Structure 1
Amino acid sequence: MTSPRATLRLQLHHGFTFDDALAQLDYFGALGVSHLYLSPITTAQPGSMHGYDTVDYGTVSAELGGEGALRRLADAVHARGMGLIVDMVPNHMGVGGSHNAWWLDILEWGRHSAFARHFDMDWHSPDPALRGKVLMPFLGAQYGEELAAGRIELKFDAANARFYAQYGPHVCPICPVDYAAMLQSADRADLAALAASFQGLTTQPDDQMRAAAARVALRDFVQREGTDPIEFILESYRSDDPVPRERLHRLLERQHFRLAWWRTAMDEVNWRRFFDVSSLAGVRVERHDVFEAVHKLIFRLYADGVIDGLRIDHIDGLADPREYCERLRQRLASLRAGPPYIVVEKILARGEALREDWAVQGTTGYDFMNDVGALLHDPAGAAPLAETWAAITGDDAPFADVSLGARREILTASLAAELDHAARALHRIAREQPGTRDFTFANVHRTVAQLAMHFPVYRIYPVNGVRSAIDNRYFDVALAAARKTLPRANLAALEQVDGWLGARAPDPANGNGSSGSSGGSGGNSSNSNKAARTANASTSKHGGQNPPPAPLSHALIAQRTALALFSQLTAPLAAKATEDTALYRYGRLLSRNDVGTDPDDFSLDVAAFHAANAQRQRRTPHALLATATHDHKRGEDVRARLAVLSEIAPEWNATLRAWSTSNQPQRRGDPAQWSPGPAAEAMLYQTLVGCWPPQFDPADAAGVQALAERVAQWQLKALREAKLRTSWIAPDENYESECQAFLFDILSPQGREGFLDEVATFVARISPAGALNTLLQTVLRMTSPGVPDLYQGTELWDFSLVDPDNRRPVDYAQRAASLDDVAPAAKLADWRDAHVKQAVIHRLLALRERAPGLLREGEYWPLEVRGALAAHVIAFARRHGDNWAMIVGTRHAAALLDGDLPRVAPERWEDTAIVLPKGCPASALHDWLADVDHAAKKDAAQDDQANWLPLRDVLAALPVAVLTNVVRG
């Protein structure tokens, strides 16, 4: 395994390609990372800025430079002794448009397409209008309106001899079964002769081959004769006249797709989406053939030594994450010596651990981001901040209630179709058993809705259709809540659904439970059984397939199907309701509102942080440790600064009220429901305080305008995600305009001697404490068990907001110019330029390189802290053989700082000291951050005669220290 020392995440797109990354490689190497961690590299929708909308798994994105540029980058990376980790997206593909060949083939040939089982498609929809069809919910208005307006057109692709319907960028191929009639309609002998070769076609595979040959003849004809004859045919389908429009409509109705208004997707989409995004379709990677097709390029690049590890996106979207991870590990291990490096994007709830039976190194680090962020928060601030939030908004509900309300809304709106799919899978099981066939669909639907609504984690991971004890720990929470909320008449159905969702193994004697949809998609029972067998087939260490297991019973297939659909409902429901809704509604303190966090889980004490780190050291020592990602809501330094408000809650509460009062004249709209409204206004002030740039002059009109535009972009997204007075689905543009006007007015140059100056003064006051939090957070990320992950550009200040703000171009020239080997302590006086943060990262990456085992595999020992300010310290040791490191950091120090410096004055530490563990060297402990040596003392007054280090010495130069007996090179 190529275990990274530290990773650097790069967001690739047409504006920052492989060659652009190559141009910065000297800087990346000098900084000290061991691996570049690339966003998806496969071909995505044209112009994609993120790469998660893959349209071709088999090619490296040409917009990123193609495979040649990737290999150039890899060669240069490997020449420096570094590696490449690539983001892989097995859960979904980009659809719509005109670039996904698999999807277009399905639209053309329907359920007989070679790719019909590649996506989670329900070909047996209960809606007759969708049976055997693919819903294409991409129209901007009602189908009839768009048809009448002439925006749906029949066209012809001469190069490929293909008729297709086009709507904007969306292409829907016409099935060749209809070509004969279309060609004959021209009433030309030459076209009639061509029509004969299409006559009698079906959608069966053999006829698809016939159609391909017939197309060759049609293409040759067009090359000889031109397209005028074809244009005559197209004229007869023009939609600007009632007769040809009706002809076009009848043609479209015969196709394997149904063009529809985009809003229909929420209720009627008959294929699994990524969350509620209708341009991303779920892929059935649990099927062996699909798995191999999806990973073919990645396997080749791994076998060739081009890439060295994988990050798996949205693992919870897969039908069986455990099985996927094991299959992936086996396939990679068969291609290169050594265990492969694999991490997964997984959101863990408090107390939830990554399952031990997954064959991966760990997660991408949201769990660490949550822990270290909570550690920065003072628990004393929780109650007063909550009281003020309730007073301002008129709502004292905890976040859990806000989230539950959001879940209810999302289930009945955005994910209604997905809820229906899961309920139907269970209702089919009920219908197959005489004892349960009278449970109605509505009864089952209500039951599933309540279970999903109260699910405390993203999902469960049953084995062979049965829940484990760990699964039941979470499922039982939802079960108990459902028992309380469902009518008594529904409880019998709840008992049955509990069983079908894995409380017990299915009884094979209870009929054929597999009719209809199976394996997360539609299909008949034979197809379902085949899918289940291929999904269970594992690959040998040599890349070959083991003998297939015995066929699964129909009852087990049905139960596994229901469990997969239920899990593929609860995961996006949790994400949409929490991350994309509730976190934008609840604003006690926005630094606790981010991906993977629970705002009710306000703070974390030192002992709990140590316990979490000790568990990482035992179970996932090679998982990533993140504090910033491409998906964060607020940059790591925004969160670190806002955390200070928990230490000065009364002052912040007073400031918040004062600002709201002074800005009241700028409010818009009806006084009874003014814009932006109390909650949105309160969150706006937090956002301004959090992202306000250091050394920012409010007299800089251009700078203020640029800041206002950035915040306005955040504000629009926040308002729409909250889904209260506007939303992406039904935007209230008047309200949004009023909110933007409010923002621009309070930040106008006229406010320079008012609100602008007040914000600048307040930010200046808390910024030193925020910088201290940043340095502590940085040191903990670099020294805790795991692999520190840097997000692009965040080695300097990261005052970014939610995407796309956090994906802005990075000034690498600036970062390269500021990188040197000067000790971080020497840069503290000028902390506002962030060079001290970069220097800390640089030094600790050098330590990780100098003593690789110390921070990679070293034991984790919490250290005892004694003295007057012990509550303001976190300390632990790492040990690997004879190498030791003592990590010491200052926390909750807003009231203790040394003037304008993010540091506690040495004399204020008084008798506070850390106690060294037995066996630790007592002398020649070098602080890698201050370039000074320390020696331990003995306290004669203590019975244990422990060696101890006084913090007045250890933290004299910086608020953090890393003391080790490893000599700097």
Structure 2
Amino acid sequence: MNSPRVPISTYRLQLNKHFTFQDAARIMPYLHDLGISDCYTSPYLQSAPGSLHGYDVVDPTRLNSEIGSPDDYQTFVDALSQRGMGHILDIVPNHMKIEGPWNTWWQDVLENGPSSAFADFFDINWFPVKRELVNKVLLPILGDQYGLVLERGEIKLHYQDGLFFFAYYDHHLPIDPRTFAHILNFRMEELTAQHDPTQPDIQELQSIHSAVSNLPDRNNPHPNHTAERSREREVIKRRLTTLMDDSKLVADFLQENLRIFNGTPDNPRSFDPLDALLNAQAYRLASWRVASEEINYRRFFDINELAAIRVEEPEVFQHTHEFIFSLIKSGAVSGLRIDHVDGLYDPRKYLQQWQEWAQTELGLSADDHGRALYIVVEKILGKGETLSDDWPTFGTTGYEFLGLLNNLFIDSSHKRDLDTIYARFAKNNAHFEDLVYQCKKLIMSSSMASELNTLGHQLNILSEKHRQSRDYTLNSLTHALREIIACFPVYRTYVTPDPSEPITDRDRAYIRLAVIQAKRKNPATNSLVFDFIQELLLKNPSGNPYLPWSEVHPFVLKFQQTTSPVTAKGVEDTACYQYNRLVSLNEVGGEPSVVGTPLSAFHERMRERQSHWPASLSATSTHDTKRSEDVRARIHVLSEIPKEWKACVTRWHRINKKKKIHIDGQEVPSRNEEYLLYQTLVGAWPFTQLSSPDYQDFCQRMEQYMRKALKEGKVHSSWINPNDAYEDAVCAFVRHILDPMQSALFLGDFIPFQEKIARYGMYNALTQLTLKITAPGVPDFYQGTEIWDFSLVDPDNRRPVDYAHRQQLLNHLVSEEQHNTEGFFSDMLAHYTDGRIKLYLTRCLLHFRRQYPALFQQGDYQPLETLGEKRHHLCAFQRTWEGHTIMVIVPRFLHQVIPNPEHPALGDTAWGDAIVVLPENSAGRPYRNVLTQETVQTRHIDQHNTLPAASIFHHLPIAMMEQLP
């Protein structure tokens, strides 16, 4: 039996038509030289045309043809194999793209309704509250109200290759073959009156009409009926094709029918036949605005075009994963990233299915946690939450590591100052927790109202089953649900449908906490309603015979699948764009309310990580982060200098006030949005002076970012109701303050301050990088971030990466290092803006990690004490495995160490008497700095074996010391 391959390091690539399998294969030599062990890619199964991210899969049974052919894919796989590199594939088990004609499974559902072979593949409620939608799917694809769209002639009936279908712009909608009768029999009396009805082609047309009329009804899902519908449909299709090709009489007749069905825009009644035909289908067309309240299929968050699939069903699991199975069996794929695991019905069971498959089909041996295949999950952990130990996964994609690392660079001693500055400047006194509560309620009343309505009606049915709960009204139950979800402290709980499996103590605590808080916020609401819901969510511990678990668990599991997207949309995509106190903390999986992490807490979390999740990914930038690691590293610095920051933003506001526009009595942008903009500029401003085209590109990026931030914040604009005038005014403000001709005063004040922040941010970024590679976990690199990257949220962070430039830089570094060029390190520091120093650090540390994988994967983690006046500015720890020891020392809060950032954070001038205290067993043994190859002797000071910070940071402000024999 073989053991799973655990990556030493990963590098994330975004594959699409602009960066293909061939492109990926070409950079594998570069990634290997960089020190990467495993290539980690975005999804590459067949997506909708033009997809730039791969999360909109339309066919999971084949490769995305826009990314490359099977031969191209094999070239990519061979490039990995030749270098002994593994491959982590991002997969999307929760949903599929349904917009357009490309998803044949969904098209089959639209054609055949409940009798479709794929009806159970999608999470569709065939018996929703709205009676008109029974056995139908609501399709909210229209740009306006149905009647208006219909009578403008925007929905067209077409014929092609034996089938009729509707077209609405890019949407092609199939027609139930049984309803072909509407078209075939239309004006039949007129046809037989004008022509001999005994003609073979007319008789054939009537025969086809009889055949379609006798097809089994689509609302009968019995397998025999389904098979007969499918078989006879193909026969009818062939017959109609032949008839249309051979008979001009019938072809002209049916084409005229199509013309009549398609109506005349000036005559509303002329659309009655088309309306009747549309109403006879297994779907109901509606305005996109209807989706938030009436949609009856589960979506990915609130995106109508992404329909959830029921991967918990064995047949669906097999069909949707069969191609991925083949990739793993062939050795092309060595591990998986599971996207949006909280969207699944039963995440633990899903992971168990994967691990059981790997043991059975691959012959892999499972460890004590049931893990045979390397799998990590995209899971956002709430405050104080840890990943469930009973999940057979190697960990998460690393958001919790990113959040912890973020706070290591935030000076918590200035929290009150940061609060005050933000409250006074932005006129915003809101607490983040209160804002989250309000934002989650906003999501449930707008974009996800349909999900809440469905839950409310499920709950109402349950309440009617017992005399003690039947008086709870639908409104009171729905209100209580909304309040409990708004108060939920984590993304979701994990109660299973198994009646014998008890609810965990942790989930029990989360549910009770949410109910307690909901009661406190709603003293006028009958508390018994909250208690009733709590009893259900807690698996009905009182054992009510009127509410057996078999009837309750569908509600509970649907509740769990609802709290997660509500939280994600409420927190990440709303509150984090409204609360701008220090935006570097507003990150996926972050806690903006938490300001700073004590070193002791960081070390403790790292020890726990090494103990429980040593193979979890350690991410600092991802395709989902709102700001790149280097942007955040700069903004963190503001926490060290709140007074200077306050003076700057106050001055900038005064300088730029006249550039604002007034709309309906409002100053645009608002002060809160202005505060966000200034922080964004501080973080994203390029290192070097740009050419005119590059500068224009930067300004456009800032405008695009602000437009997205406004829509996500949902205060003055939104995706559902965009306020173009407001967004245009904000963008005009951005253009004006960035125009050198109009804003010389502002830019003359802003740029020197930003350059200073950028220098301190450089140190933060290098520390962050070092900790990612050397602390417990698998370091993950997002494409291009091995040198400076100042990208913002997608799509900004999906711009093409210049790998030729990076390869050139790497070749230059390797040449300089090999020739031991004089001034190598001082030159990299002096010219840090070119990115060489970050690239050098990345390569050097990754190569060492690859040389000694067990040291980092299994080695003990031990915090080290620091002494001296600058001791609080050092983070130091030791990794040990089978006698091999390294010590990592990195700086933070350097504004107090080097008040003038022009002076490097090196030597005695910066570090004075600061020392790192070594363990007792290190006495007399020297250390080699892996980064600079210097040997440093220990010193005995105050009964301690120590290493002076001044000696450690002689050439570089980062150190990894290897203990020599």
**TM, length-normalised to structure 1:** 0.92
Q: Sort the Cα spacing of 1:216 and 1:487 in 2 relative to 1 into closer, same or farther, 3 A.
A: farther
Are the counterparts in 2 of residues 506 and 556 from structure 1 also a CA contact under 8 Å? no
Q: Using the alignment, how far apart are the partners of 2:160 and 2:32 within structure 1?
A: 49
Q: How does 1:531-550 map to 2 (within 5 A)?
A: none
The match for 1:586 among 579, 585, 589 is 579
CA positional deviation for 1:255:
0.8
Secondary structure at the counterpart of residue 343 of structure 1 = strand
Q: Show structure 1 runs of 5+ residues with no match.
A: 512-554
- Aligned Cα root-mean-square deviation (Å): 1.8
CA positional deviation for 1:128:
1.4
Q: Using the alignment, how far apart are the partners of 2:20 and 2:901 within structure 1?
A: 45
Q: Using the alignment, how far apart are the partners of 1:904 and 1:559 within structure 2?
A: 64
Matched, 1:769 2:760: yes
> In structure 1, what is the equivalent of residue 883 of structure 2?
882
Worse-superposed segment, 744-753 or 587-596: 744-753
Q: Using the alignment, how far apart are the partners of 1:467 and 1:262 within structure 2?
A: 39
Are the counterparts in 2 of residues 829 and 901 from structure 1 also a CA contact under 8 Å? no
Matched, 1:388 2:421: yes
Matched, 1:783 2:758: no
Matched, 1:55 2:46: no
Q: Using the alignment, how far apart are the partners of 2:663 and 2:62 within structure 1?
A: 55
Worse-superposed segment, 185-194 or 371-380: 185-194
> In structure 2, what is the equivalent of residue 417 of structure 1?
450
Secondary structure at the counterpart of residue 154 of structure 1 = strand
Read off the aligned partner of 2:616 and give its amino acid letter: A
CA positional deviation for 1:399:
1.2
> In structure 1, what is the equivalent of residue 558 of structure 2?
565
CA positional deviation for 1:779:
0.1
Are the counterparts in 2 of residues 828 and 901 from structure 1 also a CA contact under 8 Å? no
Are the counterparts in 1 of residues 15 and 52 from structure 2 also a CA contact under 8 Å? yes
Secondary structure at the counterpart of residue 948 of structure 1 = strand
The match for 1:234 among 243, 248, 258 is 258
Matched, 1:736 2:749: no
> In structure 2, what is the equivalent of residue 429 of structure 1?
462
CA positional deviation for 1:485:
2.5
The match for 1:959 among 940, 957, 960 is 957
Q: Using the alignment, how far apart are the partners of 2:84 and 2:685 within structure 1?
A: 39
The match for 1:46 among 36, 45, 49 is 49
Worse-superposed segment, 312-321 or 420-429: 420-429
CA positional deviation for 1:119:
1.1
Are the counterparts in 2 of residues 153 and 239 from structure 1 also a CA contact under 8 Å? no
Are the counterparts in 2 of residues 447 and 490 from structure 1 also a CA contact under 8 Å? no
Secondary structure at the counterpart of residue 682 of structure 1 = helix
Q: Sort the Cα spacing of 1:608 and 1:223 in 2 relative to 1 into closer, same or farther, 3 A.
A: farther
Secondary structure at the counterpart of residue 890 of structure 2 = strand
> In structure 1, what is the equivalent of residue 825 of structure 2?
825
Read off the aligned partner of 1:467 and give its amino acid letter: I
Q: Using the alignment, how far apart are the partners of 1:922 and 1:429 within structure 2?
A: 73
> In structure 2, what is the equivalent of residue 696 of structure 1?
689
Are the counterparts in 1 of residues 895 and 901 from structure 2 also a CA contact under 8 Å? no
> In structure 1, what is the equivalent of residue 373 of structure 2?
340
CA positional deviation for 1:505:
4.5
Q: Using the alignment, how far apart are the partners of 1:78 and 1:558 within structure 2?
A: 51
Q: Using the alignment, how far apart are the partners of 2:631 and 2:321 within structure 1?
A: 38
CA positional deviation for 1:114:
1.0
Worse-superposed segment, 202-211 or 660-669: 202-211
CA positional deviation for 1:219:
2.5
Matched, 1:477 2:518: no
Are the counterparts in 2 of residues 61 and 67 from structure 1 also a CA contact under 8 Å? no
Q: Using the alignment, how far apart are the partners of 1:891 and 1:837 within structure 2?
A: 16
> In structure 1, what is the equivalent of residue 199 of structure 2?
none
> In structure 2, what is the equivalent of residue 635 of structure 1?
628
Q: Sort the Cα spacing of 1:755 and 1:702 in 2 relative to 1 into closer, same or farther, 3 A.
A: farther
Are the counterparts in 1 of residues 928 and 963 from structure 2 also a CA contact under 8 Å? yes
Are the counterparts in 2 of residues 6 and 34 from structure 1 also a CA contact under 8 Å? yes
The match for 1:656 among 626, 649, 655 is 649
Secondary structure at the counterpart of residue 127 of structure 2 = coil
> In structure 1, what is the equivalent of residue 172 of structure 2?
171
Are the counterparts in 2 of residues 637 and 799 from structure 1 also a CA contact under 8 Å? yes
Q: Sort the Cα spacing of 1:502 and 1:214 in 2 relative to 1 into closer, same or farther, 3 A.
A: same
Are the counterparts in 1 of residues 107 and 174 from structure 2 also a CA contact under 8 Å? yes
Q: Using the alignment, how far apart are the partners of 2:924 and 2:494 within structure 1?
A: 48
Are the counterparts in 2 of residues 271 and 282 from structure 1 also a CA contact under 8 Å? yes
Are the counterparts in 1 of residues 410 and 637 from structure 2 also a CA contact under 8 Å? yes
Q: Using the alignment, how far apart are the partners of 1:489 and 1:599 within structure 2?
A: 31
Q: Using the alignment, how far apart are the partners of 1:816 and 1:614 within structure 2?
A: 36
Runs (4+) of structure 1 moved beyond 6 Å?
A: none
Matched, 1:327 2:353: yes
**TM, length-normalised to structure 2:** 0.93
Deviations 1:679-734 (A, max 9, x none): 1111111111110011236xx44333221101001000001111111111111111
Are the counterparts in 1 of residues 428 and 672 from structure 2 also a CA contact under 8 Å? no
Q: How does 1:343-492 map to 2 (within 5 A)?
A: 343-463=376-496, 464=498, 466-487=502-523, 490-492=526-528
Secondary structure at the counterpart of residue 712 of structure 1 = helix
Q: How does 1:495-510 map to 2 (within 5 A)?
A: 495-505=531-541, 507=543, 509-510=545-546
Q: How does 1:254-293 map to 2 (within 5 A)?
A: 254-293=280-319
Deviations 1:466-503 (A, max 9, x none): 53101122222211111212355521121111111125
Worse-superposed segment, 597-606 or 500-509: 500-509
Q: Using the alignment, how far apart are the partners of 2:61 and 2:96 within structure 1?
A: 12
Are the counterparts in 2 of residues 388 and 653 from structure 1 also a CA contact under 8 Å? yes
Deviations 1:414-472 (A, max 9, x none): 11111112222222222233443332222211111111000011001113365310112
Deviations 1:910-945 (A, max 9, x none): 221111123347434211112211121222x32xxx
Are the counterparts in 2 of residues 766 and 894 from structure 1 also a CA contact under 8 Å? no
Read off the aligned partner of 1:923 and give its amino acid letter: R
CA positional deviation for 1:67:
3.0
Read off the aligned partner of 2:535 and give its amino acid letter: G
CA positional deviation for 1:752:
5.7
Are the counterparts in 2 of residues 506 and 559 from structure 1 also a CA contact under 8 Å? no
Deviations 1:834-875 (A, max 9, x none): 110011110011011111111121111011111111110100
Are the counterparts in 2 of residues 635 and 798 from structure 1 also a CA contact under 8 Å? yes
> In structure 1, what is the equivalent of residue 222 of structure 2?
none
Read off the aligned partner of 1:39 and give its amino acid letter: S
Q: Using the alignment, how far apart are the partners of 1:655 and 1:306 within structure 2?
A: 53
Are the counterparts in 1 of residues 888 and 960 from structure 2 also a CA contact under 8 Å? yes
CA positional deviation for 1:193:
2.6
Are the counterparts in 2 of residues 627 and 636 from structure 1 also a CA contact under 8 Å? yes
> In structure 2, what is the equivalent of residue 294 of structure 1?
320
Read off the aligned partner of 2:441 and give its amino acid letter: R
Q: Using the alignment, how far apart are the partners of 2:803 and 2:252 within structure 1?
A: 55
Are the counterparts in 2 of residues 921 and 965 from structure 1 also a CA contact under 8 Å? no
Read off the aligned partner of 1:88 and give its amino acid letter: I
> In structure 2, what is the equivalent of residue 138 of structure 1?
141
Q: Using the alignment, how far apart are the partners of 2:595 and 2:870 within structure 1?
A: 22
Read off the aligned partner of 1:58 and give its amino acid letter: T
CA positional deviation for 1:335:
2.2
CA positional deviation for 1:223:
4.0
Deviations 1:324-362 (A, max 9, x none): 111111112322233200000000123110000100000
Secondary structure at the counterpart of residue 669 of structure 1 = strand
Q: How does 1:50-89 map to 2 (within 5 A)?
A: 50-89=53-92
Q: Using the alignment, how far apart are the partners of 2:895 and 2:38 within structure 1?
A: 36
CA positional deviation for 1:320:
0.9
Are the counterparts in 1 of residues 539 and 549 from structure 2 also a CA contact under 8 Å? no
Read off the aligned partner of 2:212 and give its amino acid letter: F
Q: Using the alignment, how far apart are the partners of 2:138 and 2:114 within structure 1?
A: 13
Secondary structure at the counterpart of residue 349 of structure 1 = coil
Q: Using the alignment, how far apart are the partners of 2:247 and 2:895 within structure 1?
A: 81
Q: Show structure 2 runs of 5+ residues with no match.
A: 192-201, 219-224, 365-371, 818-823
Q: Sort the Cα spacing of 1:224 and 1:320 in 2 relative to 1 into closer, same or farther, 3 A.
A: same
Q: Using the alignment, how far apart are the partners of 1:584 and 1:131 within structure 2?
A: 39
Read off the aligned partner of 1:470 and give its amino acid letter: R
Q: Sort the Cα spacing of 1:250 and 1:670 in 2 relative to 1 into closer, same or farther, 3 A.
A: closer
Percent identity of equivalent pairs: 36
> In structure 2, what is the equivalent of residue 493 of structure 1?
529
Aligned pair count reads 916
